[in-house]
Structure 1
């Protein structure tokens, strides 16, 4: 397939539509989860752990998700993921029930794993390697658009209905995501040039064949995911520390996401044209520095400006995790490889909020945020050592 075969209009609805709708719904509740936990009587540390359940749910579901998608196809997997998410959000609607809130957040993370893996597999098969980063960054961009739009819709609903309003917004959009996924076709079964069906290897075979990739670049991906997950708890909790209202916190989160969103396509084009290295290193350095500046903010204006810096760093790296995974994935066992790749990524996403919560409980929230920022410098070192400078096409 040539680069000219990559046309957004041809694949926009099946490739990006369900992700956009799902992400709008998820974006509506992400800034609210920690505040819901606080309203239910949780401490700052426990609130952080509950937010981290999104990542933990995704973490334990990546390999099962890869097996489900490989056997039943992405369409049905996405429909059931949407239905599972609606049920999860319904649990979060019960007031002052920390156990149900934690369960719902955990289930939402499980469903997210299925959706993201299904979309990534679709694009790898559909798009040529020369346009891969643009496709992956656009897929990542759909999530960023959702995280940008979702908090604004959530803030409006919170203003009218209280914290439960954000969950109702999420239910509406995630239901729409499942309805759209139901109408799109599955991919054809992959075959070799001689017409034989590509074999689906066991997960352990994939781990054995690709352990060097997981233990080198995988570490960098884990650190990137830790940085990204940290911002989801840092923004609401530091906003509360400064006395910012829940509705205003949602708006600040949305402003951060707006900067994030604007960078996604230039990021993919740069990765395709110049190589992954020249995007990955600046992205993690900007995120690391800006995260370390958060505890120095003493007012709303400085907090907003530094939050937008975090959004810039994250936006520059849009699609990075998926692109590097796609580059490294084999044709035989691709879904299983990507399931493990996402599991490595989610170790960072789930571990970072827990680490931040632990440091906040033992020392202070500010120190925990600084430690998270140092992860950006560690990720830059990993990419400097193991990520090729050239495009590799």
Structure 2
């Protein structure tokens, strides 16, 4: 593979395009999973649980995804994920009982974890440090664009057909994404692949050795994940509370999704030029404060304005967790570390909506929403406290003249836009959290 300087444009065919297509398929099935359950005789509560199983599958797949990518490589891991996704989606099509559909949906969520983790790990390895935030924000943006486009394509597919036809659309997307990964060569080989690989390290040892990172910054990541995911729950619930009809709610969701997808690249640019906290903290503050304000809305206009601000807060945070993971992950065990890192975020994504749902069940939806608003502020404070401790780019842009990013962290490099700066952070404060055998 070539070791020429890597650009974002050069990443489009091998990284961003397959991710976009795969996520279109995932986005298409998300609104239809619950409906599929209803056609098989599920109650409304059980149908909602089926949708939650997609996230459960992703949580279950996070750590194994890191181990698989470390063992077979990022590219092969993506091919395996796409192949298994074809099987699991075929299972969704052919399911005749609820337990069959539940099993297939859970397994599909796990393939999504593998696919995304593998691309994140590869991009972290090969992208120049000076482009890291923009690259990972764009990768996160592809997921958002896919989630935005997917439901519209799914609606076209099932317009005059049974609901389960949407799984055929997702299956085709998985096949196309896999073929792109197979046929389009990666633009560069990961640096770790070119070097002598260290002895295999277990996931458990990664968690133990870096427990301080996961118990501090990882907790902040958990909170971020919970606040982000909760917005998907609180908006439809509060819309129903206000008496808005489903079509109006869908239009508002479309507007929010558009705002969300338009802001990922500018936020990545700010993170690269000014530092991670300039986006991470405002994103959480906006999300937290808008969720706290949501119970104060009493009509369509105020609801739409707050929802759009919520979409803006989420959109500017696109890629921030992946970027921070790239900053702190030790190069020699990057895939396994990122698997645990994603577990922290996805666990929060599953836990946040449960808090709101439980509060709604107890008769105080507004209290549950407000509690998550407070969680957003706490998440901002946690990021402000812990990001500077572990990321060398917390308040210093990777492309700032004279910044740490401009210094070559590895022998033979020649600046932030050259191959020698790929893949690893300049330093990680917390020497006790690092394995001396992994120093380079």
The change in CA–CA distance for 1:303 and 1:96 in structure 2 (over 3 A counts) is: farther
Structure 2 residue aligned with 1:390 = 395
What's the CA shift string for 1:95-128, capped at 9, x where partnerless?
A: 8954344333322221111011101111111112
Range that drifts further, 23-32 or 331-340: 23-32
Q: Using the alignment, how far apart are the partners of 1:360 and 1:366 within structure 2?
A: 8
1:232-243 superposed matches below 5 A: 232-239=232-239, 242=243
The change in CA–CA distance for 1:340 and 1:254 in structure 2 (over 3 A counts) is: same
Q: CA deviation at 1:330?
A: 0.6
Structure 2 residue aligned with 1:337 = 337
What's the CA shift string for 1:138-184, capped at 9, x where partnerless?
A: 11111111112112223333444364454443333233212222224
Asked whether the 8 Å contact 2:78–2:119 carries over to 1, the reply is: no
1:219-230 superposed matches below 5 A: 219-230=219-230
Q: Using the alignment, how far apart are the partners of 1:36 and 1:235 within structure 2?
A: 23
Q: CA deviation at 1:286?
A: 1.1
1:274-313 superposed matches below 5 A: 274-313=274-313
Structure 2 residue aligned with 1:212 = 212
How many residues are aligned here? 387
Question: How well do the aligned residues superpose, as a CA RMSD in angstroms?
Answer: 2.8
> TM-score if structure 1 supplies the norm length?
0.88
Structure 2 residue aligned with 1:122 = 122
Asked whether the 8 Å contact 2:126–2:191 carries over to 1, the reply is: no
Q: Using the alignment, how far apart are the partners of 1:101 and 1:192 within structure 2?
A: 39
Asked whether the 8 Å contact 2:53–2:102 carries over to 1, the reply is: yes
Larger radius of gyration: 2
Q: CA deviation at 1:188?
A: 4.1
Structure 1 residue aligned with 2:43 = 42
Q: Using the alignment, how far apart are the partners of 1:319 and 1:331 within structure 2?
A: 19
Structure 2 residue aligned with 1:379 = 379
Q: Using the alignment, how far apart are the partners of 1:344 and 1:265 within structure 2?
A: 24
Structure 1 residue aligned with 2:60 = 60
Q: Using the alignment, how far apart are the partners of 2:198 and 2:312 within structure 1?
A: 40
The change in CA–CA distance for 1:233 and 1:163 in structure 2 (over 3 A counts) is: farther
1:340-359 superposed matches below 5 A: 340-359=340-359
> TM-score if structure 2 supplies the norm length?
0.79
Structure 1 residue aligned with 2:140 = 140
Q: Which segments of structure 1 move beyond 6 Å, counting only runs of 4 or more?
A: none
Q: CA deviation at 1:92?
A: 4.1
Range that drifts further, 101-110 or 274-283: 101-110
Name whichever structure is richer in helix by fraction: 1
Asked whether the 8 Å contact 1:48–1:356 carries over to 2, the reply is: no
Q: Using the alignment, how far apart are the partners of 2:211 and 2:136 within structure 1?
A: 23
The change in CA–CA distance for 1:372 and 1:98 in structure 2 (over 3 A counts) is: farther
Structure 2 residue aligned with 1:23 = 23
Asked whether the 8 Å contact 1:133–1:319 carries over to 2, the reply is: yes
1:311-330 superposed matches below 5 A: 311-330=311-330
Range that drifts further, 166-175 or 380-389: 166-175
Asked whether the 8 Å contact 1:158–1:166 carries over to 2, the reply is: yes
In structure 2, stretches of 5+ residues that fail to align are: 389-393, 397-403, 406-440
Asked whether the 8 Å contact 2:126–2:190 carries over to 1, the reply is: no
The change in CA–CA distance for 1:266 and 1:191 in structure 2 (over 3 A counts) is: closer
Verify: 1:244 aligned to 2:249, yes or no.
no
Q: CA deviation at 1:313?
A: 0.8
Q: Using the alignment, how far apart are the partners of 2:239 and 2:168 within structure 1?
A: 23
What's the CA shift string for 1:171-215, capped at 9, x where partnerless?
A: 33233212222224477474599x533443222222232111111
What's the CA shift string for 1:342-366, capped at 9, x where partnerless?
A: 1111110122233333333233444
Verify: 1:260 aligned to 2:260, yes or no.
yes
Q: CA deviation at 1:76?
A: 2.6
The change in CA–CA distance for 1:238 and 1:135 in structure 2 (over 3 A counts) is: same
What's the CA shift string for 1:284-323, capped at 9, x where partnerless?
A: 1111222234444455544443332221111110100100
Asked whether the 8 Å contact 1:190–1:198 carries over to 2, the reply is: no
Q: Using the alignment, how far apart are the partners of 2:357 and 2:384 within structure 1?
A: 30
Asked whether the 8 Å contact 1:229–1:352 carries over to 2, the reply is: yes
2:356 counterpart SS class: helix
Structure 2 residue aligned with 1:363 = 363
